[in-house]
A and B are shown apart, each in its own frame.
Chain A
Amino acid sequence: MNRPSMSRATVLGTAVLAASTLAACASAPPQGGADSAAPGGAYTWWDPYPQHDASSAWAKRVNSCGQQAGVTIERTAYDTTALTNQALLAGQEGNPPDVILLDNPAVSTLADAGMLTTMDELGLETARFDKNLIAAGELDGKTYGIPIGANTLALYYNKKILDDAGVDPASIKDWASLDAALKKIKAAGKKPITFAGIGTEEGSFQFLPWFWGAGAQLTKLDSPEAVAALELWNSWVKDGIAPNSVLSNSQNTTWEEFLTGEFGFAENGTWQINSAAEAGFPTGVVQIPGKDGGVAPTPTGGEFITVPAQKDTGRYDVTKKILECMTTPEGLVETGTTFAYYIPSTAEGQEQILGKEPELKPWVDAVRSAKGRTSDNLGTKYPKISEALWTGVQKALSGSASPADALKDAQAKAQQATGE
């Protein structure tokens, strides 16, 4: 009686053991790696555009570039932060995809990790790209990616509110004239301006035009110029020119506030062009002024095409063809219009898109005067400096420290974090 039941138990036990070991093995390799080793004609492609599914114009464009190079492209979309983490994991496992479209500040992080091939190695010509745009892909004199387009920030305005308040947008030449315009709008009983001062990268992104426009440098966060920029934002929040919610506003929330039609100005990006055209009121765009006049350098946004280093370097030839296909002048214009809106990253591409849509002029100008966040060879130091900067901005706007003190702390923190 005892024996048979025992052996049955043994069998059962071993089976359970085997099954669980199998399950453990199956769950061990991280996701993402499995698909990159596809043999022959399949090239893997990661991008941060999950909103564009397989049937979208973007996916078709990527596929057609693969077809032209004689291969099929397997595209996977992640959201921006997840993409960087997935890329790091794939790099650690040693099976990265053939192409990654990376948000530009992440390029130097992965390049510094030794994950990316230089454009030189790939044999790709980079001279035709705008210097200020490609700078974000450069680290120690080498270029690790090419911009597929660029977007940046400007001030959208509500024409009706400005007209009612008697403000001429063309009069905004420097901070003083902007301030005067904002006060007029407030006097007319409307909300003057909104922006995103949230404690994330978006907060730094929105603050940089004012920071750079005052003449400050990211290597010295507590310079008098930097303090002047933060004092400007601070006075807006304190005097009720900007709502208190800017402290927690993401750029999307800011835009929703603007779309209510209550606000005179909103700081926002190229990507809202379509939405602005569809708003229930007439809108316009002015560039962000520098402190004492001129146009402030705005930070560039947008993705870079990068090529992770492969064990099989024979793959680079096809990859190069795909990259070239994506970045011809026509290709850049197509990317630009597919993405509503992305300004092409070469002079030729910009001419072509202006020929098609002349009203993009202020944006093309803004992109030409824009500046990469990781430029000035900041590279991998930028994310740390940026964190210190947005924390400083939050401290000042929330009233827990004066702008000067908040930036002094920020500089100390940035120095500590970057090890200088």
Chain B
Amino acid sequence: MTALHTEPAHAARPRARAGRGNQRRAQRWTALAFLAPLLVYLAVFYAYPLYRNIDLSVHDYTPRAFIQGNPEFTGLRHYVVIVTDDAFLRALSNTAVFTLGSIAVQYVIGLALAVFFHRNFRLSAVLRAMFLVPWLLPLIVSASTWSWMLNSENGIVNAALQAFGIGQINWLTSPDTSLLAVTVANIWLGIPFNLVILYAGLQNISPSLYEAAGLDGANAWERFRHITFPLLRPVSMITLLLGLIYTLKVVDIIWIMTRGGPADASTTFAIWSYREAFGTGQPDFSPAAAVGNLLIVIAFVAGLAHVRLQRKEENG
């Protein structure tokens, strides 16, 4: 590969090297041939869908236009319509609450569990395996189970609350609690992911540091505060970034539990996009693509922020 980079320099050398130049050209083709599968893959599965999504969002793809292939070019009109829609601010704040709430709580609980399991004790492996269950269940199963548990009349959660004299709470059907309900379900789903990654991160911290700290008389909290947490920072940052991206695009669990309702009470951008495209009798691909693109931009900005933070960390 290094040979490839120095190629221009060789080209300027005397003729005597022409024979080697041929060889280098062949080498370059070989390199390209090796690179090609990746390039084709990137183009077909990443670049084209992205391009198509932008293309959909700047045209008016009604079902008719979709079939006849003659959509009207609308420029940024779909974006303007979405941003000025009454539901926009609601969806924005729902997305923020759902995403940030989910990843913050997932991270804290995941970290607490990781630290807990880091001290190997009897049954710790079994317990740890059990915490992975939410990850193993098909989403349709866990989401349906949650919505059954949170049912207003027959749900087990309300039955338990009633035993303590708390009246019926309409978890999924009240505009005040439906977002909370889906967020709680999503937190439960995300804990295993955080637990696994953070636990792996903990394994990389040298035990000698803890020993040294122990000799210096640091208590458990101080050891966590001054060793575990700072050394876990890179892992924490990537966990949070991945969590953010995963959570931004969550559709299934909300869709199964509340359909984004009642009215728009638990509608996030991802739900909005899905509803425009597939949730009604008539597919509206263009506004759906526009909302989807907004999500991509948000995720992209978060990714950039992560890279910046990381660079700062490395330099500083």
A230 to B233, CA, bound (A): 54
Q: Say whether B286 faces chain A, with CB atoms less than 8 Å apart.
A: no
A240-252 toward B: CB 8 Å interface, digit per residue (1/0)? 0001110110000
A376-420 toward B: CB 8 Å interface, digit per residue (1/0)? 000010111011000100110111110000100000000000000
A330 to B68, CA, bound (A): 39
Residues of B within 8 A of A115 (CB): 67
Q: Say whether A92 faces chain B, with CB atoms less than 8 Å apart.
A: yes
Say whether A397 contacts B262, CB under 8 Å: yes
Known pairs A20-B37, A200-B279, A247-B261; A10 contacts B29 (CB<8 A):
yes
Q: Say whether B164 faces chain A, with CB atoms less than 8 Å apart.
A: no
Residues of A within 8 A of B68 (CB): 113-114
Q: Say whether B221 faces chain A, with CB atoms less than 8 Å apart.
A: no
Say whether A9 contacts B30, CB under 8 Å: yes
Known pairs A20-B36, A114-B64; A85 contacts B283 (CB<8 A):
yes
Say whether A13 contacts B30, CB under 8 Å: yes
Q: Say whether B301 faces chain A, with CB atoms less than 8 Å apart.
A: no
A397 to B34, CA, bound (A): 61
Q: Say whether B260 faces chain A, with CB atoms less than 8 Å apart.
A: yes
Q: Say whether A201 faces chain B, with CB atoms less than 8 Å apart.
A: yes
Say whether B262 contacts A199, CB under 8 Å: yes
Say whether B67 contacts A6, CB under 8 Å: no
B64 to A: closest C-beta gap in Å: 4
Q: Say whether A110 faces chain B, with CB atoms less than 8 Å apart.
A: yes
Interface centre among B29, B37, B168 (most CB of A within 10 A): B37
Known pairs A113-B67, A244-B170, A400-B175; A199 contacts B40 (CB<8 A):
no
A85 to B36, CA, bound (A): 34
A399 to B265, CA, bound (A): 12
A92 to B71, CA, bound (A): 12
Q: Say whether A219 faces chain B, with CB atoms less than 8 Å apart.
A: no
B280-303 toward A: CB 8 Å interface, digit per residue (1/0)? 111100000000000000000000
Say whether A398 contacts B174, CB under 8 Å: yes
Residues of B within 8 A of A6 (CB): 26-27, 30
A9 to B30, CA, bound (A): 7
A48 to B186, CA, bound (A): 32
Tally the A-B contacts, defined by beta carbons under 8 Å. Answer: 137
Residues of A within 8 A of B173 (CB): 244-245, 247-248, 397-398
Say whether B259 contacts A380, CB under 8 Å: no
Residues of A in contact with B, size category: 35 or more
Known pairs A24-B40, A394-B263; A113 contacts B278 (CB<8 A):
no
Residues of B within 8 A of A383 (CB): 280-282
Q: Say whether A105 faces chain B, with CB atoms less than 8 Å apart.
A: yes
B282 to A: closest C-beta gap in Å: 4
Q: Say whether B152 faces chain A, with CB atoms less than 8 Å apart.
A: yes
Residues of B within 8 A of A401 (CB): 263
Closest A residue to B172 by beta carbon equals A248
Chain B 144-176 interface residues, beta-carbon cutoff 8 Å to A: 147, 151-154, 168, 170, 172-175
B133-153 toward A: CB 8 Å interface, digit per residue (1/0)? 000000000000001000111
A193-229 toward B: CB 8 Å interface, digit per residue (1/0)? 0000011110000000000000000000000000000
A384 to B154, CA, bound (A): 33
Q: Say whether B258 faces chain A, with CB atoms less than 8 Å apart.
A: yes
A113 to B151, CA, bound (A): 41
Closest A residue to B262 by beta carbon equals A398
Say whether A88 contacts B265, CB under 8 Å: no
Say whether B27 contacts A394, CB under 8 Å: no
Known pairs A105-B281, A394-B263; A17 contacts B33 (CB<8 A):
yes
B170 to A: closest C-beta gap in Å: 5
Say whether A200 contacts B67, CB under 8 Å: no
Residues of B within 8 A of A19 (CB): 37
A106 to B281, CA, bound (A): 7
B154 to A: closest C-beta gap in Å: 7
Q: Say whether A112 faces chain B, with CB atoms less than 8 Å apart.
A: yes
Residues of A within 8 A of B67 (CB): 88, 91-92, 113-115
Q: Say whether B214 faces chain A, with CB atoms less than 8 Å apart.
A: no
B168 to A: closest C-beta gap in Å: 7
Say whether A384 contacts B64, CB under 8 Å: no
A234 to B136, CA, bound (A): 41
Using a CB–CB cutoff of 8 Å, the interface residues on chain B facing chain A are 26-27, 29-30, 33-34, 36-37, 40-41, 44, 62-64, 66-69, 147, 151-154, 168, 170, 172-175, 258-265, 278-283
Counting from the closest, the 5 A-B pairs by CB-CB distance are A13-B33, A383-B281, A398-B262, A247-B173, A383-B282
Given A13-B34, A28-B44, A384-B282, 15 more A-B residue pairs with CB atoms under 8 Å apart are A6-B27, A13-B33, A14-B33, A16-B33, A20-B36, A24-B44, A114-B67, A199-B263, A201-B281, A243-B153, A245-B152, A247-B172, A248-B259, A398-B262, A400-B175
Can you list 9 contacts pairing A with B, beta carbon distance less than 8 Å?
Answer: A81-B278, A85-B283, A113-B67, A199-B258, A243-B152, A384-B282, A391-B263, A398-B170, A398-B174
